[in-house]
A and B are shown apart, each in its own frame.
Chain A
């Protein structure tokens, strides 16, 4: 019991510390830098690392799964043991649960509450720091505008090129989508990159992700949007840098040419 309390206290403490660190990192933007001497393990690393959110998500998911499986197994096995151990053996047998003293009653409320809270704060801190990775977009990025409508995804690239239901991006460069919607709410979900956010009229929302290997991924609508909600599918095509650059230049040139022809016509 003493060991358990110590363990939980340690976990709660580390939870609070992580929570504090996540908070300070969330407020890092716009903070006035002050010169302070910190122990080495607290010093902020200077090198610029782009977080891998897919790995981060999978890691946290696994950790939470282990956590809840343990809790579930403890409760389930205690319940099953009680059901077997205290089954009624004669028709007029009655339960004989001892009355709790006031101290025991308070203890049975406060100690479990403390244990659950320890776990909650720990998970909240982990979740928060992953959240910061999801929300803080790397500086060096490709920024694409996305406008959704029933039932299509329209993408606009920085050079004005537009694509429909086909999001082409280069591998190895973070991509930021700034999203809005023409009619109702949709939700741009890329399951392979573990990221989604709603797009809606009147607001601009964003997601970012880091395309890794060249390949194709499903983009699917996750917010109910009527008749063809389930057919609102797009494709994320990750291309090698060279292929993407070639495609991008070519489309850009085509666009310029079309514009030029159009103005000549006028």
Chain B
């Protein structure tokens, strides 16, 4: 037992680091999910329901947002999936800096633990995951914990960025050219470019808040020569690209899953990589003002970024064409990971297309900060991303454990969750159009949305049941699953050519690849 513990605590193996990331992020997901259930219970009726104290609700909401984004989605995608898959997909023995990798996962755990202290400290942070001043500086809530959590998780990301950009650039198997990379590996490359450029900006912003609140500086206090909007600009200068840090890897894993289960080549690979992902990289840093449409930014900046924001539909549209095109003349089979991956297409369609009205500044002047916004971003990022992560877990389960999960239970869990998310997040958008703002503990002056809220609470129960079923499935398979074999899906990609689970060092022999090798060499191109 001590040996096992030692092995995991001091591991530098990218696969074990990846699994540590998975355990940490699923734990964050579960706790943040419980917060969501508490909020849904509170909102079943207008007025106080399960708590008389709005600050309780605000703390739940703070934790839900911060933990889901910083503690679950980013680490699950750029920590777990990237760590586990990238070295295997490029035929490397490990990442470039294995010990740095171990440091980054433990920084991540420190961040998660710091975030969890929310529930035991007096006056926990109630500043939402955005932490806007002046509120974050005048609240009695403990803003320092918010700042330190963000900083720790940010450091973990920066270290990961250095590591993965180096690994993908220099450690590809002999013969593997850039155009022979898996789409997922490309997406990790793109996501970490964004993290390296933009995370320091977020770090600066939350540090300035801490300085203002505890050390008496006045960066955001207009009475002392500061400006409240500087924070929002800095925050969204990171946090909009952060949406793509989540979107790129989840689209990447969906591409790989769909190609595997359609046994088909990626449709127009170069369009997907250079047009789709490259286009997002180019536009990511020029659209942040759409989060500030109603804050009194200069008009020219608002209409200017309305155009850039709308143009995001071009690269995202190319990614969609790539996804749908990959199904063309495929040999599609509907396994659990495939169902999750395909559902991402539909969730992203709803979420992405409802982003178009929000990109238009004059439409946003009405719906900004309404319930329409959480409805939209849950579809496009939260739910689509989570479904891709779950698809990725099912997809890699036989590789990670050498065992097979139950397809029956997996599909049941999928459908329960899929119905649940639609019952929650579609009515959420409708409540926004009725005029209800987000982050409300009590909606007494909008009695017309009570029915919608009750529907959403029912949906939330579905999601909880679905997640519970998935957990049961994984744990059961871990102990009682049938042996899966090295390549249960019949994939051509490198990670499936080695043993399940792969030994330390990944490959018995480092693969040497020819010029026309492709991870997607199915059918005619074999």
Chain A interface (Cβ < 8 Å from any Cβ of B): 26, 56-57, 60-61, 64-65, 67-69, 71-72, 75-76, 78-79, 82-83, 86-89, 93-100, 105, 108-109, 112-113, 116-117, 119-121, 123-124, 126-128, 130-131, 133-135, 183-185, 187, 189, 191-192, 194-198, 200-203, 205, 218, 220-231, 233
Contact = CB atoms under 8 A, between A and B. Distances in A.
Given A60-B360, A88-B332, A97 B369 contact: no
B367 to A, nearest CB: 9
Interface residues of B, number: 91
B177 interface: no
Contacts of A89: 331
A130 B318 CA distance: 29
A133 B354 CA distance: 23
Contacts of B330: 82, 86, 95, 97
Given A94-B522, A95-B264, A200-B295, A83 B332 contact: yes
Contacts of B324: 75, 78-79, 82
Contact of A87 (B55, B332, B368): B332
Contact of B228 (A57, A87, A124, A202): A202
Contacts of A203: 222, 228-229, 296
Nearest to A129: B362
A95 B58 CA distance: 51
A68 B357 contact: yes
A266 B294 CA distance: 45
A228 to B, nearest CB: 6
A93 B263 CA distance: 8
A26 B303 CA distance: 11
Q: Which of A69, A119, A187, A189 has the most CB of B within 10 A?
A: A189
B317 A189 contact: no
A89 B439 CA distance: 49
Given A95-B523, A134-B362, A112 B321 contact: yes
B207 interface: no
Contacts of B226: 202
Nearest to B225: A202
A220 B321 CA distance: 41
Contact of A105 (B270, B295, B366, B442): B270
Contacts of B370: 189, 191, 222
B17 to A, nearest CB: 34
B294 A196 contact: yes
Contacts of B296: 197-198, 200, 203, 205
Given A113-B318, A205-B296, A223-B369, A233 B445 contact: yes
Contacts of A189: 369-370, 435, 437
B356 A123 contact: yes
Contacts of A198: 294-296
Contacts of B443: 230
A93 B331 contact: yes
Given A109-B268, A113-B314, A203-B296, A222 B263 contact: no
B131 to A, nearest CB: 10
Contact of B317 (A96, A112, A123, A128): A112
A93 B73 CA distance: 35
A195 B329 contact: no
B97 interface: no
Nearest to B226: A202
A230 B130 CA distance: 18
Contacts of B267: 97, 108
The 7 closest A-B pairs by CB, nearest first: A202-B222, A95-B264, A191-B435, A127-B360, A205-B296, A230-B440, A222-B369
Contact of B58 (A61, A117, A185, A226): A226
Nearest to B130: A224
A109 B522 contact: no
Given A68-B357, A105-B268, A233-B445, A196 B365 contact: yes
Interface string B331-353: 11110000000100110011001
A98 to B, nearest CB: 7
A124 B356 CA distance: 10
B354 to A, nearest CB: 7
Given A88-B263, A93-B263, A99-B265, 11 more contacts: A68-B354, A75-B324, A109-B275, A112-B321, A119-B313, A128-B362, A191-B366, A192-B435, A194-B366, A202-B228, A223-B132
A89 B329 CA distance: 12
Interface stretch (B134-142, B165-173, B384-392): B134-142
A61 B432 CA distance: 14
B523 A97 contact: yes
A185 B365 contact: no
A155 B473 CA distance: 59
Contacts of B268: 100, 105, 108-109
A95 B265 contact: yes
B135 A86 contact: no
B236 interface: no
B349 A72 contact: yes
Interface stretch (B198-206, B304-312, B398-406, B450-458): B304-312
Given A76-B349, A109-B275, A196-B365, A229 B356 contact: no
Contacts of A68: 353-354, 356-357
B239 to A, nearest CB: 15
Contact of A130 (B264, B350, B359, B362): B362
Contacts of A200: 134, 228-229, 295-296
B128 A224 contact: yes
B377 interface: no
25 contacts: A57-B362, A76-B349, A86-B328, A86-B329, A88-B332, A93-B263, A94-B522, A96-B523, A97-B329, A113-B317, A120-B314, A127-B362, A131-B365, A189-B435, A191-B366, A196-B365, A198-B295, A220-B435, A224-B58, A226-B58, A228-B54, A229-B58, A229-B440, A230-B54, A230-B439
B327 interface: yes
B514 interface: no
B333 A88 contact: yes
B300 to A, nearest CB: 8
Contacts of B415: none
Given A94-B263, A201-B222, A185 B328 contact: no
B363 A229 contact: no
Contacts of B176: none
Given A82-B324, A94-B522, A116-B314, A226 B294 contact: no
A86 B331 contact: yes
B441 interface: yes
Contact of B306 (A87, A124, A228): A124
B227 interface: yes
Contacts of A83: 327, 332, 342
A76 B327 CA distance: 13
A72 B355 CA distance: 12
Contact of B263 (A95, A120, A183, A205): A95
A112 B222 contact: no
B307 to A, nearest CB: 5
